Amino acid sequence: MKRIVLLLFVLETTFNLFGQSTPVVSGPMLGPVELRDALIWLEVSPSVRTVSLQYRKTGTGVYKTKAYRGPLGNEFNPIQIQVGGLDLNTEYEYRFNLDGKPSAASGKFRTKDLWQWRKPAPDFSFLTGSCAYVNEPAFDRPGRPYGGDSTIFETMAREQAVFMLWTGDTWYTREVDYYSKWGLWYRAHHDRAVPVLQPFLKAMPHWASWDDHDYGPNDIGSNYILKEESRKVFMHYFCNPSYGENNQGIYTMNSWGDVDIFLLDDRWWRSADQLPDSIHGRPNPDKIVIGSQQMNWLKNSLVYSQATFKIIVLGSQVLNPVSAFDKFLDFPVEYQELMDFLMQHKIDGVLFLSGDRHHSEIIRVERPGAYPLYDITVSPLTSGTHRFAPNEQNNPYRVLGVDQKQNYGRFTISGPRHERVMKVELLGVKGDLLADWQVHEKELKFQK
């Protein structure tokens, strides 16, 4: 029966890609699933007039119904429905009704357990990755298709992970999209609807940050004239807990177990990469990447956090001194401000997570008087792969590296209190282990 439902759903989505009018365009996708509430995403066709979500504890007989009250009938119709009043650590099943009729858009989710003050932090795994290119030959650049083997999403859908963390370039705008509001909506709509992605979207909750390609043109920053529209698209196609402050940026945070994850926005305030890093031998204060508003939020969030591991996510690499490509280190005033803050306030447990590079690696940078910092880069999911350039071939800061292979990351946090370990595995298209590394919480602490 499950195979029949999945086949019907894939057929619905496939027909939509070829221009047919079908109720479900893409999804469902799980957004944040918390202790007592859950957010579920779906995109429906312009012909749909009413949407409702039915949900119940798995195996029980009575569904509750939550009606969608937002706009419908537009060319692009991504919607989000939140349900609350749920029980702790309980599996629920759900289904969408469209125009009063059951659809194949259905799935399950489990609420979080209330472990704080009651039991040890849970052991868990989450997935991460960046750079997902979906081929569309009519608008792709000539030559070999840039998008690779998309069955990596089938592999990821089978993982027993508690969430997926997208670290940028989740879709790729291209020349026909860059300066078109319609084009920005179309790109997210088109790439989200590919059939191979659908089982993964509902397999686990999804959170995301962005980088240049799902923000706008390559390497662009604050000068992008459609950045407000791009932010609207991102907010409609991902269900993050929040999106910046004061209608600025898309940064946010989330927590799972004893891990806090800070997703930064490296585009909204970003100065042009071509501005000089220094002027007359002094760091250029006008070259910024995350801006004062976001920096202040990050500082306060890090000081407030009691998490064992504090993962700071940025679309571009942070630490790699050898890279010739865009990185936080190229914005020396803000970079040094953050590094000084981490030292001054002795923030334990900090690691960086990034994407962008089309290869995966872990960079380690020593700090006199403090524990070393690590920048974990995971890329690409389906985009073209990258060979380590000569200047990076023997990077002395690299702990491990994987190039010329599509891959995703699996992070596993486990162990008793005060003995927690984070294990990072880089996995290939079929889930084959390419490389692994781990760090103990004690290795990420200041000496008392």
pLDDT tens digit sequence for 106-146: 999 999 999 999 999 999 999 999 999 999 999 999 999 99
User: Span 49-63, mean pLDDT?
Assistant: 96
> What is the CATH architecture assignment of 124-444?
4-Layer Sandwich (3.60)
Q: Is the pLDDT of residue 416 over 60?
A: yes
Check whether 14 has a pLDDT greater than 90. no
Q: How confident is the model at residue 448 (pLDDT cuts 50, 70, 90)?
A: confident
Residue 15 has pLDDT above 70, yes or no: no
% of the chain with per-residue pLDDT over 70? 95
User: Per CATH, the architecture of 2-110 is what?
Assistant: Sandwich (2.60)
pLDDT digits (tens, 9 = 90+) for 239-275: 999 999 999 999 999 999 999 999 999 999 999 999 9
2-110 and 124-444 have identical folds:
no
Average the pLDDT over 89-93 and give the result. 98
Bigger pLDDT: 350 vs 7: 350
Q: How confident is the model at residue 21 (pLDDT cuts 50, 70, 90)?
A: low
CB 293 within 8 A of CB 246: yes
Q: Given this model, what pLDDT does residue 324 score?
A: 81
- For the chain, the domains span 2-110, 124-444
- What's the whole-number mean pLDDT along residues 380-393? 94
Span 169-213, pLDDT tens digits? 999 999 999 999 999 999 999 999 999 999 999 999 999 999 999
* pLDDT at residue 391 greater than cutoff 70: yes
Q: What is the pLDDT of residue 16?
A: 45
| pTM for this predicted structure | 0.94
State the pLDDT confidence band at 10, using cuts at 50, 70 and 90.
very low
Q: Residue 280: which region, alpha, beta or left (left: phi > 0; alpha: psi -120 to 50)?
A: left
Mean pLDDT of all residues belonging to the chain: 94
Sign of CA dihedral 199, 202, 203, 207: positive
Q: What confidence tier does 17 reach under pLDDT thresholds 50, 70, 90?
A: very low
Q: What angle, rounded to 10 degrees, do the helices at 227-237 and 181-192 form?
A: 20
